[in-house]
């Protein structure tokens, strides 16, 4: 088939002015125009068709590998969920330090701040605090009791006076309390052994009678204890050590 | 291709295909998500916002914060958002349930704000920063939002709302103080509410290194 | 419509339909008022939008600029600039060009011009109310849809009028071969009101909850580019290139392939603005795939235009229309391939959230679409006003100011953006460093804004002189050089 020839340029044809278009409107810019555009009919190049199909093939592979099985709950394109595969979300035990940090961030930073430095005069710091790492009359049991029942009234922390109210956190389970205490005892330069969930459970049972938040005086009346060696978490991911910066649990200083 | 009905049909079908995939599907799946209950505190993930924070979203939208600040945490290896501390995990659809509108953002002229409430929980810091960003971060190119604040003469006692520690060329002269307007208070309440560090099963945290 | 006539509609037409001069004159006379109204509005908004963009650009390097007033804060100026240039300049210019092209290609004088004039009035009103609303603080902060809820229905009415007009015009066209530009225009005029209505309902009037908003938002914004601006720009290129050089378009079959692959793939691209974002993985992957598939329509159109132009690139020396149009068409290929590359996730890590994206956006909307519109307007306005452009030198100034301006802007933002992206990707590098890398390139971008604004002022002056028919009537068209008539092309 031969492509059509474009028509010659239109000249001014007097006898076609049947309509009431004014002669002066058919001005130079229209007269010099070439014909209206028309189509040629060259075939589609073969290489383009080949490339087209190659791209379609690649597209199919990409969608197969990076679509997370087309599930609505898979947000990570690197996770491949084949038909009949397990749940999209791998359920594994959480590293206690990760859990502890999360619990701390959700619940504690409002007062104690992300830096653990608290707010001067209002909320006591946790960094280097004897209440957290031990020292003087402070024991690990006191720390757990504070988490379980709260603390109020005038207290002394690192030589500074505070008089506020910390709410109880008994609604957190033993694992979360042990995780957050382990976290604050090993963060910001603090270096104290981990506290196990079993120990928290033991203290929780022992404090069952306590209904009011503790005061410093009431806590001082109870002899301080050290928590026993926290066992390494059984199913922790390989990257998480049990108590990374902990000093040996057998501390020479008695409470 | 000379037929109007054929053209119309083709134009409609191609359009409808993307409408189904990118509009109807998210509407039905993501749009109907529910928050997850939180056993520890009795609340929900994502936590509900205070009324002031909801009002703050309107101020955020009105002043175009989204054109410099994003609000999404992405996974490795595509990004290093988590390694840089922008958040503990990838943000997913459920995280934005309370957002109206959703400020995902497409520019990081300024830092990502997904977890700004966890990084900077102090109200006064935010007010100082909004009033005169360069006094808090001297290399910042964030414009000043001092039109959201009022400079007033101290009447007797300083106001409880007054911003502490202002410096720089627009700091109040002695005897004067700067107080936030309602819009500023709402905006700061919203910013402090931006925390996406609670757990969600569909977005597991990468293991700590 | 029986199968026979369906097949024959693809069959090569034996004789291209043509128009006699007096018919062209009649058609042009019928389109004069609506098209010039849209053009005048578009150029007005172009000046305002360029100014808003210039101030926004300098605010990024000088944050203290105009920072006392709420309505001049960057967060309001930037969306005001975006919406003014998209809805005020680009859409209006596109509608004007599209109307004229439709009338010529349907080969009937304009029907229902009052519908178009009402559309122009509503649309101007909508843009004015919308922009004032953004500056007043009622912006929705939904990208590309920032107009407050009280402005969008006004715009929607205007666009609905245009969609209705397009259907009527196409229905009552002169029977015969339907040229490729008409497919693109018809599709664009239908797609846009659908897009606009869906996006407004789901994002503004009855907002859906959660990150689904992001998906709908970027489905809308990318489709404004791909299903509204791109078809109008391509329709103009498909008309102007063969028209000016007097040759047929290379291949009807490539035209078909290009049109339908664009329709199918372009609309799935939206999620590539949100790679890594809070969406099911398959949605993002589908958009990545669609973005790569765009290679097909883009290369197809590029081949079609290039093979049509082959042997006639000399015409670029003398024809303003062709120079702007071919600049736009070549930029279309470059920006689309750039966009496809940006959608690849490993490259997206470097470009997402950086100035590179801004450079890409301007290359597309300005380097492709606006330049295409300038070219079309240089062709159309003399035919509507009966006056020739008063000064070829001024057109030359316009061309070089904006060509250098846009290239400077895109190159500077692209380099700055990559450096920014590299810095943002490295956790050891502070955020401050990513800012420091970007800053000198933002200065260059700011300077390019002056060039662009200057070019627009020249163009606006030329247009005003055309409307007022000031000065002596020129003999013959305003061309850059004496035209060399192409030899009778052997076919």
Q: How many CB atoms lie within 10 A of CB A235?
A: 7
DSSP H stretches of helix in chain B: 4-19, 25-28, 51-62, 116-119, 123-131, 133-136, 182-192
CA–CA distance, C397 with C417 (Å, rounded to integer): 29
In chain C, % of residues over pLDDT 70: 94
User: How many Å lie between the alpha carbon of B76 and the closest alpha carbon of chain A?
Assistant: 9
Subunit partners of chain B (3 or more CB pairs within 8 A): A, C
Q: Check: CB of residue C147 under 8 Å from CB of residue C130.
A: yes
Cβ distance B92 to C267 less than 8 Å, yes or no, reads no
Q: How many CB atoms lie within 10 A of CB C137?
A: 19
Residue C75 lies in a domain: yes
| Chain C residues within 8 A of B27 when measuring between CB atoms | 202, 208, 212, 216
CA–CA distance, C215 with C229 (Å, rounded to integer): 20
Q: How many CB atoms lie within 10 A of CB A138?
A: 18
Per-residue pLDDT of chain B (209 residues; tens, 9 = 90+): 677 788 889 999 999 998 998 888 888 888 778 888 876 666 788 888 889 999 999 999 999 999 999 999 998 888 888 888 888 888 988 899 888 889 999 999 999 999 999 888 899 999 999 999 999 998 999 999 999 999 999 988 888 889 988 888 899 999 899 999 999 999 999 999 998 878 888 887 776 54
Enclosing domain of residue C444: 22-468
Residue C481 lies in a domain: no
pLDDT at A90: 44
pLDDT at C491: 27
Cβ distance B118 to A171 less than 8 Å, yes or no, reads no
pLDDT at C386: 85
Residues 6+ apart with CB under 8 A from C55: C65, C66, C72, C77
Q: Which of C138, C462, C109 minimizes the C-alpha distance to B64?
A: C138
Residue C11 lies in a domain: no
The residues of B whose Cβ lies within 8 A of any Cβ of A are 29-30, 40-42, 75, 77, 88, 90, 92-93, 118-119, 121, 195, 197-199, 201-205, 207-209
| Chain B residues within 8 A of A102 when measuring between CB atoms | 88, 197-199, 205
- Report how many Cβ contacts below 8 Å link chain B to chain C: 241
| Maximum average pLDDT range among A61-75, A97-111, C239-253 | C239-253
User: How many residues in chain B?
Assistant: 209
Residue C399 lies in a domain: yes
Cβ distance A27 to C25 less than 8 Å, yes or no, reads yes
| Chain A residues within 8 A of B209 when measuring between CB atoms | 239
| Chain C residues within 8 A of B114 when measuring between CB atoms | none
| Chain C residues within 8 A of A42 when measuring between CB atoms | 250-251, 253-254, 307
Q: Which residue of C has its CA nearest to A59?
A: C289
pLDDT at A11: 46
pLDDT bucket at A236, cuts 50 / 70 / 90: very low
In the structure encoding, which two tokens stand for residue C61, read together?
């390097």
Q: Check: CB of residue C120 under 8 Å from CB of residue C37.
A: yes
Q: Which of A92, C269, C281 minimizes the C-alpha distance to B74?
A: C281
Average pLDDT over every residue of C205-221: 89
Q: Which of C163, C79, C55 minimizes the C-alpha distance to C119?
A: C163
Average pLDDT over every residue of A17-45: 71
pLDDT bucket at A16, cuts 50 / 70 / 90: very low
DSSP conformational letter for A24: G
Residue C40 DSSP SS3: helix
Subunit partners of chain A (3 or more CB pairs within 8 A): B, C
Q: Check: CB of residue A95 under 8 Å from CB of residue B209.
A: no
CA–CA distance, C467 with C460 (Å, rounded to integer): 11
Cβ distance C18 to A3 less than 8 Å, yes or no, reads no
Pairing of strands A160-166, B36-37: unpaired
| Chain A residues within 8 A of B46 when measuring between CB atoms | none
pLDDT at A4: 53
pLDDT at B207: 65
pLDDT bucket at C489, cuts 50 / 70 / 90: very low
Domain boundaries, chain A: 96-220
Residue C5 lies in a domain: no
What are the structural domains of chain B? 51-192 (1.10.760.10)
Distance of CA A92 to the CA centre of its chain: 16
pLDDT at A7: 53
Cβ distance B30 to A173 less than 8 Å, yes or no, reads no
CA–CA distance, C341 with C207 (Å, rounded to integer): 32
Q: Is the peptide bond before C431 cis (omega within 30 degrees of 0)?
A: no
Residue A67 sits at the chain B interface (C-beta within 8 Å): no
pLDDT bucket at C18, cuts 50 / 70 / 90: confident
Q: Which residue of C has its CA nearest to A27?
A: C386
Q: How many CB atoms lie within 10 A of CB A200?
A: 25
Of C252, C296, C476, which is closest to A52 when you measure between CB atoms?
A: C296
Average pLDDT over every residue of C404-420: 96
| Chain A residues within 8 A of B124 when measuring between CB atoms | none
Of B77, B118, B202, which is closest to A73 when you measure between CB atoms?
A: B202
Q: Which residue of B has its CA nearest to A171?
A: B40
Q: Is C96 exposed, middle or buried (0-12, 13-18, 19+ CB in 10 A)?
A: buried
**pLDDT tens digits, A85-139:** 444 444 455 677 777 887 887 788 878 888 888 888 888 999 989 888 888 888 8
Q: Which residue of C has its CA nearest to B12?
A: C191
pLDDT at C440: 94
Instruction: Provide the ipTM.
Output: 0.92
| Chain B residues within 8 A of A105 when measuring between CB atoms | 88, 118, 195, 197
In chain A, % of residues over pLDDT 90: 8
Cβ distance A107 to B41 less than 8 Å, yes or no, reads yes
pLDDT bucket at C484, cuts 50 / 70 / 90: low
User: How many Å lie between the alpha carbon of B15 and the closest alpha carbon of chain A?
Assistant: 20
Cβ distance C68 to B102 less than 8 Å, yes or no, reads no
Cβ distance B109 to C60 less than 8 Å, yes or no, reads yes
Distance of CA C56 to the CA centre of its chain: 21
When the candidates are 1.10.760.10, 3.30.980.20, 3.40.50.800, 1.20.1290.10, the CATH number that belongs to A96-220 is: 1.10.760.10
User: How many Å lie between the alpha carbon of C288 and the closest alpha carbon of chain A?
Assistant: 9
In the structure encoding, which two tokens stand for residue A182, read together?
């382990």
pLDDT bucket at A245, cuts 50 / 70 / 90: very low
CA–CA distance, C259 with C253 (Å, rounded to integer): 10
Cβ distance C246 to A41 less than 8 Å, yes or no, reads no
pLDDT at A1: 46
Cβ distance B108 to C354 less than 8 Å, yes or no, reads yes
Cβ distance B121 to A113 less than 8 Å, yes or no, reads yes
Average pLDDT over every residue of A222-242: 57
CA–CA distance, C135 with B139 (Å, rounded to integer): 27
Q: Domain with C54 in it: what CATH number?
A: 1.20.210.10
Q: How many CB atoms lie within 10 A of CB C344?
A: 15
pLDDT at A100: 84
Mutate to test the interface with B, among C72, C353, C437 (most CBs of B within 10 A): C353
Q: Is C404 exposed, middle or buried (0-12, 13-18, 19+ CB in 10 A)?
A: middle
Total of domains in chain C:
1
Cβ distance A21 to C29 less than 8 Å, yes or no, reads yes
pLDDT at B200: 83
User: How many Å lie between the alpha carbon of B111 and the closest alpha carbon of chain A?
Assistant: 18
CA–CA distance, B158 with A191 (Å, rounded to integer): 43
Which pTM was predicted? 0.79
A58, pLDDT greater than 60: yes
User: How many Å lie between the alpha carbon of A253 and the closest alpha carbon of chain B?
Assistant: 32
Of B22, B62, B91, which is closest to C271 when you measure between CB atoms?
A: B22
Higher pLDDT, A170 or C361: C361
C89, pLDDT greater than 70: yes
pLDDT at B40: 64
Mutate to test the interface with A, among C281, C288, C376, C486 (most CBs of A within 10 A): C281
**pLDDT tens digits, C436-470:** 999 999 999 999 999 999 999 999 999 999 999 87
Residues of chain C numbered 349-388 and touching chain A (CB < 8 Å): 382-383, 386, 388
């Amino acid at each position: 088939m031969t492509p059509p020839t474009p028509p010659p340029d239109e000249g001014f044809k007097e006898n076609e002015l049947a309509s009431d278009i004014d002669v002066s409107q058919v001005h130079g810019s229209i007269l010099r125009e070439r014909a209206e555009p028309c189509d040629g009919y060259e075939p589609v190049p073969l290489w383009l068709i080949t490339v087209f199909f190659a791209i379609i093939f690649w597209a199919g592979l990409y969608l197969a590998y990076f679509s997370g099985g087309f599930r609505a709950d898979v947000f990570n394109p690197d996770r491949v969920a084949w038909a009949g595969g397990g749940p999209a979300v791998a359920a594994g035990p959480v590293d206690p330090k990760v859990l502890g940090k999360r619990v701390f961030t959700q619940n504690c930073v409002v007062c104690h701040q992300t830096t653990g430095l608290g707010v001067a005069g209002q909320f006591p710091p946790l960094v280097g605090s004897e209440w957290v790492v031990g020292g003087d009359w402070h024991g690990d049991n006191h720390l757990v009791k504070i988490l379980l029942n709260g603390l109020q009234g005038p207290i002394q922390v690192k030589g500074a006076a505070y008089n506020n109210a910390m709410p109880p956190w008994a609604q957190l389970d033993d694992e979360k309390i042990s995780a957050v205490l382990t976290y604050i005892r090993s963060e910001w330069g603090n270096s104290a052994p981990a506290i196990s969930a079993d120990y928290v459970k033991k203290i929780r049972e022992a404090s069952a009678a306590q209904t009011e938040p503790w005061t410093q005086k009431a806590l001082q009346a109870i002899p301080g204890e050290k928590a026993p060696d926290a066992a390494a978490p059984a199913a922790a991911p390989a990257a998480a050590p049990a108590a990374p910066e902990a000093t040996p649990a057998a501390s020479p200083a008695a409470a | 291709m000379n037929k109007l009905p054929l053209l119309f049909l083709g134009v409609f079908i191609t359009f409808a295909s993307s409408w189904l995939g990118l509009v109807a599907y998210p509407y039905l799946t993501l749009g109907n998500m529910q928050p997850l209950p939180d056993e520890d505190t009795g609340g929900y993930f994502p936590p509900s916002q205070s009324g002031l924070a909801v009002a703050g979203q309107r101020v955020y939208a009105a002043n175009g914060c989204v054109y410099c600040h994003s609000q999404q945490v992405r996974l490795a290896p595509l990004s290093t958002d988590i390694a840089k501390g922008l958040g503990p995990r990838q943000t997913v659809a459920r995280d934005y349930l309370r957002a109206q509108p959703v400020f995902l953002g497409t520019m990081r002229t300024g830092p990502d704000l997904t977890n700004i409430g966890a990084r900077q929980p102090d109200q006064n810091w935010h007010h100082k920063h909004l009033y005169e960003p360069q006094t808090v971060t001297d290399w910042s190119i964030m414009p000043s939002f001092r039109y959201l604040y009022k400079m007033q003469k101290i009447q007797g006692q300083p106001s409880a709302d007054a911003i502490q520690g202002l410096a720089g060329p627009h700091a109040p002269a002695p005897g004067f103080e700067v107080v936030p307007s309602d819009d500023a208070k709402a905006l700061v309440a919203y910013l402090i509410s931006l925390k996406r560090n609670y757990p969600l099963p569909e977005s597991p945290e990468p293991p700590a290194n | 419509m029986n199968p026979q006539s369906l097949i024959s509609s693809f069959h090569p037409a034996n004789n291209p339909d043509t128009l006699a001069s007096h018919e062209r004159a009649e058609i042009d006379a019928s389109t004069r008022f609506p098209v010039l109204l849209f053009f005048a509005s578009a150029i007005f908004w172009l000046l305002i939008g360029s100014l808003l963009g210039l101030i926004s650009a300098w605010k990024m390097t000088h944050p203290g600029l105009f920072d006392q007033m709420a309505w001049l804060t960057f967060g309001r100026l930037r969306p005001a600039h975006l919406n003014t240039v998209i809805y005020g300049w680009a859409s209006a210019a596109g509608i004007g060009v599209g109307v004229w092209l439709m009338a010529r290609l349907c080969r009937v004088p304009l029907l229902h011009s009052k519908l178009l004039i009402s559309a122009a009035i509503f649309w101007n009103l909508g843009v004015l109310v919308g922009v004032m609303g953004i500056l007043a603080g009622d912006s929705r902060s939904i990208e590309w849809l920032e107009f407050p809820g009280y402005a969008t229905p006004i715009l929607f009415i205007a666009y609905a009028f245009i969609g209705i007009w397009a259907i009527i015009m196409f229905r009552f066209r002169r029977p015969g071969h339907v040229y490729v530009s008409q497919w693109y225009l018809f599709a664009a005029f239908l797609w846009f009101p659908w897009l606009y209505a869906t996006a407004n309902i789901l994002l503004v009037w009855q907002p859906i909850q959660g990150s689904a908003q992001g998906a709908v938002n970027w489905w809308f914004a990318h489709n404004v580019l791909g299903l509204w601006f791109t078809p109008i720009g391509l329709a103009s290129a498909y008309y102007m290139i063969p028209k000016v050089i007097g040759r047929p378009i290379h291949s009807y079959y490539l035209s078909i392939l290009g049109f339908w692959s664009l329709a199918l793939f372009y609309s799935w691209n939206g999620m590539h603005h949100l790679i890594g974002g809070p969406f099911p993985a398959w949605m993002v992957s589908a958009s990545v795939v669609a973005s790569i598939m765009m290679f097909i329509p883009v290369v197809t159109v590029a081949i079609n235009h290039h093979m049509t132009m082959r042997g006639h690139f000399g015409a670029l020396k003398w024809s303003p229309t062709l120079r702007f149009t071919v600049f736009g068409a070549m930029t279309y290929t470059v920006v689309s391939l750039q966009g496809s590359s940006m959608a690849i996730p490993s490259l997206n890590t470097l470009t997402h959230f950086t100035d590179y994206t801004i450079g890409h956006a301007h290359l597309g909307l300005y380097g492709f679409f606006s330049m295409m519109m300038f070219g079309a307007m240089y062709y159309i306005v003399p035919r509507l006003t009966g006056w020739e452009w008063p000064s070829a030198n001024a057109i030359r100034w316009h061309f070089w100011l904006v060509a250098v301006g846009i290239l400077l802007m895109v190159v500077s933002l692209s380099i700055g953006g990559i450096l920014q992206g590299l810095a943002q990707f490295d956790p050891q590098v502070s955020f401050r460093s990513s800012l420091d890398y970007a800053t000198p390139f933002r200065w260059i971008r700011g300077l390019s804004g002056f060039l662009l604004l200057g070019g627009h002022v020249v163009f606006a002056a030329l247009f005003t002189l055309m409307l007022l028919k000031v000065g002596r009537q020129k003999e013959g068209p305003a061309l850059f050089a004496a035209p060399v008539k192409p030899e009778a092309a052997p076919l």
